[in-house]
Copies of this chain bind each other. A is one copy, B any other.
Amino acid sequence: MTTGAESLLATLEANDVDVCFANPGTSEMHFVSALDRADRIRGVLALFEGVVTGAADGYGRMTGNPAATLLHLGPGLANGLSNMHNALRSQSPIVNVIGDHATYHRDLDAPLTSDIEGAARPFSHWVRTTPTADSLGQDTAEAVRVSREGKIASLILPADAAWTEVDAANPIAVKAGEPAPDPHVPDGALEAAARVLREEGSRTAILLGPRSATPDALAAADAIAAATGSQVLLNTFMSVISRGAGRHGAQRIPYPVPQSQELLSKFDNILLVGAKPPVAFFAYPDKPSRLYQPGTRFIDLTDGFQRTVESLESLRSELGNTVDTPALELQLPGLPTGEITPEKLGVFLGHSLPEHAVVVDESITTGRSFGEATDAARPHEWLTGTGGSIGYGMAASVGAAIARPDQPVITLEADGSGMYMPQALWTQAREALNITTLIFSNRKYQILRNEMTNVGVPKFGPKAEALLDLNNPGIDWVQLSESMGVPARRATTIEELQAAFTAALEEDGPHLIEVML
């Protein structure tokens, strides 16, 4: 005798989904109960649904395997949508399980009723309401299969489908089918790419998309670039970048339009490797939306987002004359001293990042110099906010830390963005995750002060000013962090920061450092 909820969980287990980030409600009680009997699935409670989906994003980025989420009807899903947007742009696999009223209860329009499918669709690749307990094995397996293509699968679970017993003739745990095969390199693309590399190498860029900055892909791209005089570029916002000593570097397209335009003006040809033609993050009056020069020739090597390494290896074969290039050598800058500035913070990170750190970067304006300063640091992975949805950092760190329990996770968080989902700290404490969070406290939405000027507003008055200001009252991040069980310290100098950072890394569990700017 097996309920639908048990079939759902057995199917997740059969397909090696081993963590469920959850914020449950009444309709999900049978799922929660069934979790007790699903020995291979870890249940992780978050106190807000954005933490649930953000954690699943972080987990998916680090493993390529979906986490499950558990969300409570339309409003519970709604709270998770913004981080689903980032996950979608990151091509992270996620299986959402969204509880709904019992099927016979839905038409009564009870207070918590809403159009869950409609709410899920803009932020999911796949949405299905499972009709009965008997359909849960198949539908869950299909959700897992779809997610493994780097997609968001949202499975809506009516309460009666969860609590009803599965017909004995039905399989309980269903194996997921294979993900759709990655698309082949488009016909002729390799030949065309090899030709422009040979003939116009110095005017050609190889642009790697969100999931394509793995060590092997970066090494292959670097070999091609060295052999042809071309340049390897990365999207401004990437799912994961493998960086530091022992890896091969590549330049990210800068965020500000003038700088990105200047960089891309050097290229007549851009080879797309899991990437799309680069466009500005926002439109600005009198600035172009397309960052590349008019007439740029694009050659798509992957027709999508997978097979990155294979495509680059095929291109190397096609070129025939490439040799491996040396990886970056470790180059640790000296530790700066005194008062903290954004530039010194970059150098500090270059000096101090521990080996195999997973860096979750939501540092916004404070972090503009961090990339260059950490290029030749100890080897590490670097995650960024792929969809521009603010507040992903501390939540994604939860998932990254659960995916990589033996690697230190470093969260670089602006104070403004940190305030969107501070509840992530509580889950970090409950799960005793090895996360060190640096909060960059400048007490303003500095990016909006910059953007205000960019969009042509030279001077702003007291009301506009107040909407970009995080003083009055200032936020005490040490208190905030400790209120949720994460030990915290404040640093006003590089020396204090270094001492706090070292202490945080030495002790198990999460820590937070409020970095005063």
Contact = CB atoms under 8 A, between A and B. Distances in A.
Interface in A469-491: 469-470, 472-480, 482-485
Contacts of A73: 388
Given A43-B466, A115-B122, A283-B160, A85 B89 contact: no
Contacts of A102: 283, 289
Given A119-B122, A426-B475, A483-B476, A112 B281 contact: yes
A79 B50 contact: yes
Interface stretch (A26-34, A304-312, A318-326, A329-337): A26-34
Q: What's the number of copies of this chain in the assembled complex?
A: 2
B79 A85 contact: no
B111 A119 contact: no
Given A74-B122, A75-B82, A281-B111, A426 B467 contact: no
A198 interface: no
Contacts of A89: 111
Nearest to A41: B463
Contact of A480 (B104, B276, B479): B479
A464 B35 contact: yes
A298 to B, nearest CB: 14
Given A121-B118, A389-B75, A35 B479 contact: no
Interface size class of A (residues with CB under 8 A): 35 or more
Nearest to A420: B48
Nearest to A479: B483
Contacts of A338: none
B475 A483 contact: yes
B78 A163 contact: no
A43 B285 contact: no
Interface string A94-114: 000000011011001111101
Interface in A395-444: 416, 419-423, 426, 429-430
Contacts of A237: 111
A212 B485 CA distance: 44
Nearest to A450: B26
A161 to B, nearest CB: 12
A74 to B, nearest CB: 6
A140 interface: no
A377 B102 CA distance: 39
Interface string A148-188: 00000000000110010000000000000000000000000
A456 B162 CA distance: 12
Contact of A118 (B50, B118, B454): B118
A413 B423 CA distance: 17
Interface in A379-400: 386-391
Interface string A269-295: 000000010011111010001100000
Contact of A457 (B29, B74, B285): B29
Identify the 5 closest CB pairs spanning chains A and B, nearest first: A473-B485, A75-B389, A102-B283, A36-B461, A78-B81
15 contacts: A24-B448, A32-B468, A36-B461, A47-B470, A78-B389, A79-B79, A104-B283, A108-B290, A110-B279, A110-B281, A110-B289, A112-B282, A159-B282, A163-B456, A480-B483
Given A108-B290, A159-B282, 11 more contacts: A24-B448, A26-B447, A35-B463, A74-B82, A74-B123, A78-B85, A110-B279, A111-B386, A112-B388, A477-B483, A479-B479
